[in-house]
Amino acid sequence: MWIVLTLLSAVLLAGYDIAKKSSVNRNAVMPVLFLATLAGGIFFTVLLAVSGRLTPILAISLADQGRVLLKALIVAASWVCVYYAMRGLPISIVAPIRGSAPLWTILGAMVLYREVPTAWQAVGMSAVLTGYVLFSWAGKAEGISFRRHSGILLVVIGTLLGAAAALYDKFLLQRCHMLPNALQLWFSLWLVVLTGSALVVQRARGWTRTPFAWRWTIPVVGILLALADWCYFHALAHPEAPISIVSLIRRSNVVLSFTFGALLFHEGNLKRKSVALAAILAGVAILCQPLPVPAALVTAFHWLCRVSGF
């Protein structure tokens, strides 16, 4: 079931990427980030309250609060970098770079959790790296220098912080044995506090010049992320779920993000980007080969049919 939940998280993340791109495109970043986070936090809190699961997870230890706050700080810093980068870069460039997070997560998992990849997995990692080199060439064809464009540096930093957050998630859920719902609730609340504080400081200091425009995709960003995170946290809480594989499957959302980004935002140079994407997908397929992914897809389909009443 943890594979099914991870696949569902990947699909939801693809929708999140599209809504996020639409929300920050030519728009002030910090208000979007705060309002999306607020919407996601309210949505998740209401879901827990309606289901009767809110009260039992409100009380957590002071030590766990500190751990969750650290996670929120890492993720908030990652989001700020990625949101600012996404405002000035095509989603078909940003999404695949973000998709490289599992590669860094694998390296971290090797060091911290002894999740040693096989020789075949090393081949897959090389294919993923090749894909990102090809994306750098595609970016140059659009006048985007991977060395000089500040957005590239921001999205790389954001991606590395995201990989660090994923490794920390395994520590919280499998080593500290935090409940997934408790982790997500307090993580969401801390994010609202952090992004709200950053927005107040930014406005008080006059650090922004871009006007803010309300878009209905903004709350959709928070809601989709809340749903994706629910699937992800419950998948990772399974004691047999390796963070290296969970992260890889989850970031396969790059396929849908790339496709819909090309269709909705009419981004160019898609032929070269498609070749780069094919290399990344080949690497991901190699890395996931030992897993029963086709069987998991069938299981996910039957599970969705059962839940929906078909």
Q: Which of 43, 5, 6 is nearest to 218 (CA)?
A: 43
pLDDT higher at 22 or 86: 22
What is the average per-residue pLDDT within 279-304? Answer: 58
Domain that holds residue 208: 2-308
Q: Which amino acid is at 145?
A: S
Q: Encoding tokens for residue 234?
A: 């419950």
Burial 246-276 (b: 16+ CB within 10 A, else e): bbbbbbbbbbbbbbbbbeeeebebbebbbeb
Backbone angles phi, psi at 114, to 5 degrees: 60, 30
* pLDDT in the model for residue 139: 60
- pLDDT tens-digit readout, 120-129: 877 877 887 7
Distance between CA atoms of 245 and 103, rounded to whole angstroms?
10
Distance between CA atoms of 275 and 278, rounded to whole angstroms?
5
Q: Residue 151: pLDDT band by 50, 70, 90 thresholds?
A: confident
Number of domains in the chain: 1
pLDDT higher at 178 or 256: 178
The answer, yes or no, to whether residue 106 has pLDDT greater than 50, is: yes
